[in-house]
């Protein structure tokens, strides 16, 4: 499922009186809310769905696939998702 499919699904769930643009705005609002929560609190927990967390990646040594030379990869931040109990049960 991509973003367009998600918007269509939200539109159907909200009913026939909801326009596609309103459904798109709802999806964008949720995504923006998750981004803001991660930036502020470093974690967003949606009970029954899962938890988004900011995680640190350590600096490491990698290999350039073209030249096979070793390169240094800097430490960075990433987002991890841990599925909730209800989500796991539906899979």
* Claim to verify: residue 87 and residue 50 sit in the same structural domain: yes
10 and 22 Cβ atoms separated by less than 8 Å: no
- What pLDDT, on a 0 to 100 scale, did the predictor assign at position 57? 95
- What pLDDT, on a 0 to 100 scale, did the predictor assign at position 41? 87
* Claim to verify: residue 7 and residue 24 sit in the same structural domain: yes
* Claim to verify: residue 3 and residue 31 sit in the same structural domain: yes
* Claim to verify: residue 27 and residue 47 sit in the same structural domain: no
What is the C-alpha to C-alpha distance for residues 7 and 15, in angstroms, rounded to an integer?
12
**Which residue positions in the chain have pLDDT lower than 70?**
none
* Claim to verify: residue 49 and residue 88 sit in the same structural domain: yes
Domain with 65, as residue range(s), is 42-91
Q: Considering its fold, how many domains does the chain have in total?
A: 2
43 and 54 Cβ atoms separated by less than 8 Å: yes
Measured in degrees and rounded to the nearest 5, phi and psi for residue 24 equal -65, -40
Q: For helices 20-41 and 3-14, what crossing angle results, to 10°?
A: 110
Taking alpha carbons only, the member of 62, 30, 27 closest to residue 44 is: 30
* Claim to verify: residue 30 and residue 52 sit in the same structural domain: no
């Amino acid at each position: 499922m991509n973003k367009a499919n998600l918007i269509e699904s939200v539109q159907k769930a909200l009913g026939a009186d909801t326009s596609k643009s309103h459904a798109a705005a709802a999806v964008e609002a949720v995504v923006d809310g998750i981004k803001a929560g991660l930036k502020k609190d470093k974690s967003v927990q949606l009970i029954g769905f899962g938890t988004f967390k900011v995680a640190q990646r350590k600096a490491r040594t990698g290999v350039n696939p073209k030249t096979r030379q070793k390169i240094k990869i800097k430490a960075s931040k990433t987002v991890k998702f841990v599925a909730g109990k209800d989500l796991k049960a539906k899979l």
